[in-house]
Amino acid sequence: MIIDGIAAGISGMNAAVRRLNQSANNLANISTPGYVPSRVEQADLAGGGVAVVGQTALASGPIVSTGNALDLAIDGAGYFVLQDADGNELYTRAGNFSLNADGQLVDQTGRLVQAEGFQAPQGTAQIQVGADGVVQALGADDAVLAEGQLQIATFANPGGLRAVGGNAFQATDASGPAVIDAAGQPGYGAIASGALQTSGTDIVSEMVGQITAQRSFEANLKTIRTGDEMLGTILDIVG
């Protein structure tokens, strides 16, 4: 029983550390556009103790106007689809995009934004993005020089997505595969051009969560120390 108590204390302490680390990461990304905070999920173990069973994404932040035509926000459900240098597909709510040297739409780390081959040619005067996700490169006379369609992904269980970096996600078995469609379709949010979704981190709830996790850590540490003292007493008696 004493050993079980110590084991339960260790698992509880480890879970508290995970919660503290995740909360610290949420707070560190309070100014990151499109950042979706997450919390550590845990479950009781048979015989006592807890186990971390995963992380769940929380609510997204509000949308604010920036006036930059390449700042995009999804008003509703869905994620922008990105492709990294290795060809891996990632998903994000952060729409602070720009054009690379080849006229392709990219995020702040250079990952390609999937827009059905959109590439702005030389002579492009401005980029226009509609609520339906249609991206157009316009010339000085407003003639359409190139056009593409932003891809928007939704998931059966967005909470099952795995965070990659500050504001990108990977699909998992828990989230289900990405279902791609155009913005504004049923179940898909519309595109707001000249706007960004801010971080969803709530300072107050994160601070409360950190205090709770710290107290849990201290309580489990006390359990371990008590068990260790009891074992020491038993060994002294037996020995």
Q: pLDDT of 27-81, one tens digit each? A: 888 888 888 887 777 655 445 555 544 555 667 788 999 999 999 999 999 999 9
Domain span holding position 116? 64-197
pLDDT, position 46: 46
SS3 of residue 77 by DSSP:
coil
Q: How far is CA 153 from CA 81, 105, 115, 148, 192, in A?
A: 7, 17, 12, 16, 16
Taking the C-alpha atoms of residue 93 and residue 78, their distance in angstroms, rounded to an integer, is: 8
Mode of pairing for the β-strands spanning 79-83 and 112-113: antiparallel
Residue 62's Cβ-side half-sphere holds a number of Cα atoms within 13 Å equal to 4
Nearest Cα to 61, choosing from 105, 29, 16, 24?
A: 29
Mean pLDDT of the chain: 86
Same domain, 49 and 144: no
**What tens digit of pLDDT does each residue of 102-155 get?**
999 999 999 999 999 899 999 899 999 999 999 999 999 989 999 999 999 999
Give 138's DSSP letter. Answer: E
Same domain, 11 and 23: yes
Number of domains, the chain: 2
Same domain, 167 and 97: yes
Same domain, 141 and 232: no
Give 71's DSSP letter. Answer: B
